[in-house]
Structure 1
């Protein structure tokens, strides 16, 4: 049972592994995925002795990787890491780390002592992680849609209902009435990811809420004023009634005295 589980785990790890291939004589930079595999093709190491240096501020570092007779003899450039091997003229890094980024020089030494060299720039980037999209309604009648991911060197692109929108920005502005399916695509030089969500009209815009709140305030103000007016009017009527009753009683008492 444990053996079957181990084999399944190995298959999953293998399927998830990204592999990149570069050559030391290529003109463009070499890109590798952090934590994944990089193959650096050089030359026939049975003919040449190879030395690989890393340049810092255009100066060769003392550390190097030396290959002779198609085998690594010394490789303190990669701190003798077990995941760095050399097979058939290919330097293989099975698990790339950030420190592997940099400018490298490959020196080919002939049997007569003459040599040639070539350079290669290696850039390590983290694969794109999970992509998140959020939508917010603003007071100016627009909808703001934002896209984000937790990796570096990201390039953004958008599509709405299958039509391309503005590229390059992690945030776009849409009309408040816009609805449909929107896709945010995120990529860098080593991987890509995307998120598809449904965009609907804002249920209540901020402007509507503000206007509605103002109308309620005016309505409550009018009701309060009417209530105060009615209380004042009712009190005045009661006071007038009391005055009339008092006058009536006084007039009745005077009539009784006269008789």
Structure 2
């Protein structure tokens, strides 16, 4: 399996230590979490698009089922991690709280289209590590925006900045993006906007030294077309 490094963002958590998020949409993504923290794994952009989803840990020969979804109804399997997980169906994000060392390992996802056909099995590797937070020493640089239209009309937008310990926040037309418009961890530097959204999009990046902002006027993406919108 070809390894693909997933998006990793670390920020100060509220009650469970560090919060990390990983873009695990590509097969072979490598995701990292802090021991005792919370991990968000974006498995798909919109789970309602699929007739069924299955998510499990371990190889296909010795797997432990975690999540089953069918017809917009999802169920967490009765496993030792049952009380520590949640699934956001609208944006396809899986959350794991109070991470433990044995949460590390291979996880697999199988999707079924509306006609019942399997679109294949996709894997990711999760690594839970001890993390010792340190204070940022370098200021954040002026952020840059780039975006790409997805195949079903969603827009995937990234905000990039140099510096130590950057944290990101997003607004659209002056309103903070919530988990109906973008993933619930919108402190990350990549978000996926639902089809039809447009207006003035602003990304703010900050650490304990400084902050900076970039804004762009965006138009909604046409459906069933993939192209770069911003450079």
Same fold (TM over 0.5): no
| Larger relative contact order, structure 1 or 2 (CA cutoff 8 Å, min sep 6) | 2
Higher relative helix content: 1
Higher relative strand content: 2
Larger Rg: 1
